[in-house]
Amino acid sequence: MKVREIELRRIFLPYVAPFETSGWREEGSYPIIVRMVGEDSRGEFVAWGESPVGENPFYNEENYKTAWIILQDYLIPMLLAAEVQSPWDVTPLFAKVRANREIALFSHVWNMAREWGYTAKENPCRGVRKNRETPRDYYADDTVWAAVYAKAPEEVKDAMDISYLTGQRPADVLKMMATDIRDGALEVRQNKTKKRLRILLDYANGTRSELGKVIDRISARPRKVRSLFLVATPAGSSLNRWTLRIRFDAARAAAAKEADEKETPEMKALAARIRAFQFRDIRPKAASETTLEHARKLLGHTEGQITETVYRRVGEVVNPTK
């Protein structure tokens, strides 16, 4: 059995009555719905599942945000890369990730107990070796980019262009506003690191940069309602991570379907690469297609090591021996 595609959707299910304890109150649950497409000896199949997590990590150790990250960044890539004979093969496949999460949870609980004065003993997790987890190394080449870009609505194209040309994370791209443009530069304050950047819209010789041209294109576009956000729908509504995800996934699915329909080995391989493309892969693409020093500054890294090891996903260009 080979799993070809996995889609995640988060929904909200209101309770008949609120679930309330002395510590917190919940109005509903936030399950993550999982749709899986694959092939086995009987042909193509579609399967559905659910990750039943809540809004806060109080009743269980996870919530919908942490569950989404673990599914997206670790479990799904592992499953897509594996061949399994039955659902029972999945448990040992995920064992390493589960063990690492349990170590992290126990360590956090112990540290909180020390902070609250329940114990003065050393954290027993100290020195425990975790299982090695392979970081994501997918690279979105220009063919994949062009296929998805061609199927995307204009607001997704804007988000893709700005993300690539600025090298910023999706959350930082979505919050960019016209008021962030000052003195010929787009001013960015990264959510994660609080790093401040000023990304120039014109080169030193006075020519307009590609980023400047994208912003000019957005500014000149007529909208029913004028929005201060750079990434917005034709109706003027800004996008959030979920609305961007839905639109990007739809464009990716359409591009993969078109490649699949051509039924050649090359196009089948392209369809597989398209399905593996995620919006967050745009930041590594930006880092991989410029110099290391430029990428380090653009991504807001203090040292080049993290840029090189995590975000640069193409090899160095070298000449042959002869």
- Could you tell me the pTM of the whole model? 0.67
What tokens appear for 235 in the block? 């109706």
Q: Is the model's pLDDT at 299 over the cut of 70?
A: yes
Q: What integer is the mean pLDDT of 308-321?
A: 88
> Is pLDDT at 273 greater than 70 in this prediction?
yes
pLDDT attached to residue 320: 93
Taking 3-state DSSP, the helix, strand and coil percentages for the chain, each rounded to the nearest 5, stand at 45, 20, 35
Domains contained in the chain, CATH given: 2-84 (3.30.390.10), 94-134 (no CATH), 142-311 (1.10.443.10)
Contact indicator for 231, 173 with CB cutoff of 8 Å: yes
Over residues 84-105, mean pLDDT: 72
Quick one: residue 96, left, alpha or beta (phi over 0 = left, psi -120 to 50 = alpha)? Answer: alpha
The predicted pLDDT at position 248 comes to 94
Q: What is the pLDDT of residue 98?
A: 67
Q: How many residues does the chain have?
A: 322
Q: Give the C-alpha separation, 193 to 5, whole Å.
A: 33
Alpha-helical runs (H) found in 261-291:
265-276, 282-288
Q: Which two tokens stand for residue 47?
A: 């399967």
- Residue 200, classed as helix, strand or coil, is strand
pLDDT of residue 213: 96
Write the pLDDT tens digit of every residue in 262-271.
888 899 999 9
Q: Tokens at residue 135, please?
A: 């970081």
On whether the CB atoms of residues 304 and 292 are closer than 8 A, the answer is yes
Could you give the CA distance from residue 161 to residue 288 in angstroms, rounded to a whole number? 15
Q: What radius of gyration do the chain's Cα atoms show?
A: 23
